[in-house]
Amino acid sequence: MRTIKLAGAYIDMHDDGLTVTRYDVGEVPACAQDSEEYQARAQALGYGTDTPRMSRDHELTHHMLAAMLGLPHSPTLYGVASKQVYPDWMLEESAVLGIQAFARANGVDLTTLAIRMTTRRQRHRSAVTGRFISKAEAEASPETTVREQG
């Protein structure tokens, strides 16, 4: 299992395909469903028969969308966790499905992207010029380098 923190939630990605979103108000478990409708959605979004991947990507995309928009959390998933329906859940759901389809059409691995979004990189800025510099430049002149988390 791997856990990441993104958009105010802890997301547990279990090896068996289960994805659990945890908030302070509750949690939302999600896994692939064995229904014709679910399999048709996987086909339509470009996942073929890989419904577990579609399910995982779907949950992660809710969080990535919230993070991109600067929201404290996914309103839809937070609503499910707190047992309060988010009134515009269909708008969020449509956006998530659209992102999934677009990502699949362009070969973007959404799970890798979500993990990358949670990994903080250290950037280096020249204290003299204010521009970002390479790690090698920073190491060569540590007295004039400002390190930032980004």
pLDDT at 137 over 80: no
Q: Of 150 and 89, which is predicted with more confidence? A: 89
Q: What is the mean pLDDT of residues 11-33?
A: 96
The average pLDDT across 97-112 equals: 97
pLDDT value for 150: 47
For 61, the token pair is 């995309």
Residues 54 and 119: their CA atoms lie apart, in Å, by 22
Mean pLDDT (whole number) for 93-104: 98
pLDDT tier, 118 (very low <50, low <70, confident <90, very high otherwise): confident
Cα separations (Å) of 82 from 57, 78, 88?
A: 22, 6, 15
C-alpha distances (whole Å) from 138 to each of 121, 133, 149 are 14, 7, 14
